[in-house]
Amino acid sequence: MLPFSKLFKNKKNEYNLDKDRLPVHIAIIPDGNGRWAKSRGLPRSAGHKEGSKTLKNIVIYSNNIGVKYLTVYVFSTENWRRPQDEVEALMSLLLGFLKNAEKELRGTEVKIRVIGNVKALAGDLQSEINRVEKLTQNNKGLCLNIALNYGGRDEIISSVKKIAKEVAEGKLGIESIDGNMISNKLYTAGIPDPDLLIRTSGEQRSSNFLLWQTAYTEYWYTDVLWPDFRQKNMDEAIYNFQKRNRRFGGV
């Protein structure tokens, strides 16, 4: 691993980041693959392919600088409405990423976890998810959470159903239900809430992503399309985060 000072110095030395105030958990909505491809006269699948390269680079960089958790919104429950050929291309890319994860991320100690309704996915993708999660479960580096077939509202509904079932079975009293209990029933159980959420391509909405978990998350938006997102953009987002005063409802 490179020294922290070298990792954080881009060519223009624009950002002086505080290594002691890094966000523990960064969430990313990697938007703009389709527009990137369209602007170049390419099929949308080409944008997704280029975006997957960006993802690998940002995962490695995040791990190298000491970020503990990175959650990336790869495929939402609403994305099934896209053209069939685009959905198939995305799923193929995801399958390829998982199959080659140990090769692409070799030496990084990255731990991979998939969050979302995995049971609704194709069998080969489910098998690969199980394989990679088991393979990396004891790694000590960055925890990469891949949000796949994920929807924030569906996640909360699922959590409520689990709690309601325990109440109906007499295992749980209604008065025992609190925020911690709901958090522990979510896909992200055991993962701290995001400190920083980055959305690319100029869009400024949450798009049903981590609705419960981002109650006090700092949002940062950029016009940069995801395939063009680089380490310097990551530095800028972290620098902006470090300048903010997080009061969590206090003074």
Q: Which residues contact 18 (CB under 8 A, 6 or more apart)?
A: 242
> Annotated catalytic residue: which of 57, 79, 139, 208?
79
> Annotated catalytic residue: which of 31, 33, 145, 195?
31
Annotation says 79 is catalytic? yes
d(CA 66, CA 1): 10
Annotation says 117 is catalytic? no
CB neighbour burial string for 88-115, b if at least 16 within 10 angstroms, e if fewer? ebbbebbbebbeebeebbeebebbbbbb
User: Taking a C-beta distance cutoff of 8 angstroms, is the pair 91, 129 a contact?
Assistant: no
Q: Which residues contact 221 (CB under 8 A, 6 or more apart)?
A: 198, 199, 202, 203, 204
Q: What is the arrangement of strands in the sheet containing 196-199, beginning at the earlier edge strand?
A: 111-115, 143-150, 69-76, 25-29, 196-199, 218-221
**Both tokens assigned to 9:** 């110095």
DSSP string, 29-59: E---HHHHHHTTT--HHHHHHHHHHHHHHHH
d(CA 54, CA 34): 14
Kind and range of the H or E run holding 27: strand 25-29
User: Taking a C-beta distance cutoff of 8 angstroms, is the pair 248, 216 a contact?
Assistant: yes
Active site residues: 31, 79
